[in-house]
Amino acid sequence: MRELRGIGASPGGAAGPVYRLAPPPALPPLVEPVDPEAEKTAVRAAVLAVAADLTRRADTALEATAAEVLRAQVMMAQDETLIDAADIAIDGGADAPHAITDVLAGHRAVFEAAGGYLAERVSDLDDLRDRLVAACLGQPMPGVPDPGHPYLLIARDLAPADTAGLEPAMVLGLVTAEGGPTSHTAILARTLGIPAVVRCAGILDVADGALASLDGASGVVVAGVSAETVTTVNADRLAEIERRARSHGPGRTADGHPVALLANIGSARDITGEVEGVGLFRTELLYLDRVDPPSHEEQVAAYRDVFAALPGRKVVVRTLDAGADKPLPFLRLADEPNPALGVRGLRVARQAPSVLTAQLAAIAAAAAATDADVWVMAPMVATVAEAAAFTESCREHGLPTAGVMIEVPAAALRASQLMCHADFLSVGTNDLSQYTFAADRMCGDLADLLDPWQPALIALLASCAAAGVEAGKPVGVCGESAADPSFALVLAGLGITSLSMAPRSIPAVRESLAAHTVNECRQIAEAALAAPSPEAARAAAAGASRQLRFGDGVSVR
Ligand code: PEP
Ligand code: MG
């Protein structure tokens, strides 16, 4: 048996034979084409075939996020400039596969040089190149294997096209050698409920068919396990899924202290099962890949779809969070050396105020047409003045419940003052970690700094929660940290009033809260706050939890 360590990216245990992603096609030696026109036709045919295949995958993708990523890839494939550049390469002596490879290598260099979100899209471009070359060579599309039985998928990294087509019934778990905890592989695995480990060095040395197990919470992968282990791990997982499917009802601690468990969504399609409400409706999907902003009617329809699905329940709509890792072409934002520190989130309203006011008007119109309890919040608020201006604008549009996200340390430090204007706060721990630790959230190599158990992040969360308690106003958390069942205890103990996460993560968090009293959560939070490192914070919280539950020491009941 061999133990490998990666980063847990999607919780749960899984075991089975491993199979790797079908390799990309090997580029044959260049042969100067005798008929350049035939090569140009081959490029066009490859584009048509690949775009059709990706569109089919997008249409059948189970998740809205996956579908959007695939449609973005279709747009890249159909980009006229790609075909024009391939024609020029063919006129220069390349055959179709080499022309495609050369042109996409140029695009790749531009994406890499841009850094941030675009650099993360490099794997989408590589995937597109492999698909187009395979189509030119008449080879099958590279990608997910189909051994005819459930298995663990291993890969260097996964392209969105691969992840979107994953069937949770067949792919029991996945392990990648590269990628980070905020890469699309990790986010989609979490959305699909497939246990996953990323950045697992050595996984590609494990032979196809070998039995392995993975723990998507701790990031531990064991290669060479027995058939009995495979049966036990998968039976445990199944029992856990079945037990959680039966769990329902609002989030509460063992002694009935309410902590609302809300869903993070990008569109109405993401609302699965019974949810207490939506704690983060990311509205960027509506604006992606467009040259013009969506019309009032289009926006109203999209918001109404979501509100109508949740009558009487809370829906927190986040206004457009453009820029940095979410570039939106229609805004024509200037190139910046540090986009994450530039004009993004609410700051876009400085340059394009009408985009925000048009969105607020559309949210208000959709809210008026349904019975949902609509709350609105702005991303990337840094100052009290920004909070005051935003909440005032919401009220002018007839939106009575207006809040702000805490994603910038400056805002966390002034949480009490923000509360003089805002009706609620919602902490976006993904960005708050990035800005507190000056560590790009897209950078897998800095994952240790982006760990929500970092005591400095917990301290900022504590002061936001305390500001909420003092003001008698709600303070929620809607970053990825809210989905960690152990960290949820810390958050509840600090006084956070709601946790918002991918709907599939809710049952595990509900279960964790239900097993502890609010006083136990407070002691767990204190233990984590006092720890000198994330490892110590985790251990202290786990120790406090065990001690409290098994009466091994201090009892708080
Ligand atoms: C966050 O930053 O934690 C957050 C929820 O927003 P996003 O991940 O969309 O930036
Ligand atoms: Mg954010």
Query: 47, 83 in Cβ contact below 8 A?
Result: yes
For helices 64-78 and 80-91, angle between their N-to-C axes, nearest 10 degrees? 40
Residue ranges with strand state E in 166-324: 171-176, 196-198, 211-215, 220-223, 260-265, 277-282, 314-318
Q: Which residues line ligand 1 (CB under 6 A)?
A: 280, 282, 321, 407, 428-431, 478-479
Q: What is the pLDDT of residue 67?
A: 78
Per domain, the residue ranges of the chain are: 2-22+143-244, 36-137, 249-520
Work out the widest C-alpha separation in the chain, in whole angstroms. 84
| Averaged pLDDT score across all residues of the chain | 89
Answer yes or no: 149 catalytic: no
Q: How far apart are CA 316 and CA 238, in angstroms?
A: 33
DSSP string over 526-545: HHHHH-SSHHHHHHHHHHHH
- β-strand pairing of 196-198 with 171-176: parallel
Closest residue by CA, ligand 1 atom 9: 282
Query: 73, 288 in Cβ contact below 8 A?
Result: no
Q: What is the pLDDT of residue 273?
A: 80
pLDDT single digits (tens) 342-374:
999 999 999 999 999 999 999 999 999 999 999
CA 135 to chain centre: 31
Alpha helices of 484-533 — where are they, by DSSP H? Answer: 485-494, 506-514, 518-530
Residue ranges with strand state E in 432-496: 475-477
Q: How far apart are CA 400 and CA 18, in angstroms?
A: 53
Q: What is the pLDDT of residue 149?
A: 87
Instruction: Please give the CATH superfamily to which domain 36-137 belongs.
Output: PtsI, HPr-binding domain (1.10.274.10)
557 pLDDT above the threshold of 50: no
DSSP state of 328: -
Answer yes or no: 184 catalytic: yes
The one catalytic residue among 184, 397, 421, 516: 184
Class for domain 2-22+143-244, per CATH? alpha beta
329 pLDDT above the threshold of 80: no
| Residue 264 Cα: closest atom of ligand 1 | 5
- At 406, which helix (H) or strand (E)? strand 401-406
What is this structure's pTM? 0.72
316 φ, ψ to 5°? -95, 110
CB contact set of 264 (below 8 Å; sequence gap of 6+): 270, 278, 279, 280, 282, 478, 500, 501, 502, 503
Query: 132, 77 in Cβ contact below 8 A?
Result: yes
Q: What is the pLDDT of residue 168?
A: 78
The confidence band for 514, taking pLDDT boundaries of 50, 70 and 90, is: very high
Reference 153, options 8, 15, 58; nearest CA is 15
Residue 379 alpha carbon to ligand 1 centre in Å: 8
Other Cβ atoms less than 10 A from the Cβ of 448: the count is 13
Closest residue by CA, ligand 1 atom 4: 428
Residue 407 alpha carbon to ligand 2 centre in Å: 6
Q: What is the pLDDT of residue 548?
A: 67
Instruction: Please give the CATH superfamily to which domain 249-520 belongs.
Output: Phosphoenolpyruvate-binding domains (3.20.20.60)
pLDDT single digits (tens) 377-391:
999 999 999 999 999
Dihedral sign computed on CA atoms, order 207, 208, 210, 212: positive
Dihedral sign computed on CA atoms, order 535, 536, 540, 543: positive
pLDDT single digits (tens) 454-482:
999 999 999 999 999 999 999 999 998 99
Highest mean pLDDT out of 64-68, 189-193, 280-284, 494-498? 494-498
Residue to substitute in 287, 319, 478 for testing ligand 1 pocket (most ligand atoms within 8 angstroms of CB):
478
Q: Mean pLDDT, to the nearest integer, of 54-78?
A: 79
Q: Mean pLDDT, to the nearest integer, of 328-334?
A: 79
pLDDT single digits (tens) 240-268:
888 877 878 999 999 999 999 999 998 89
Residue to substitute in 431, 433, 500 for testing ligand 1 pocket (most ligand atoms within 8 angstroms of CB):
431
Residue 450 alpha carbon to ligand 2 centre in Å: 13
555 pLDDT above the threshold of 50: no
Adjacency order of strands within the sheet including 220-223: 2-5, 220-223, 211-215, 13-20, 151-155, 171-176, 196-198, 7-10
Closest residue by CA, ligand 1 atom 3: 428
Write out the binding residues for Mg(2+).
407, 431
Radius of gyration from C-alpha coordinates of the chain: 24
Residue 406 alpha carbon to ligand 1 centre in Å: 10
552 pLDDT above the threshold of 50: no
Least confident of 79-88, 236-245, 304-313, 487-496: 236-245
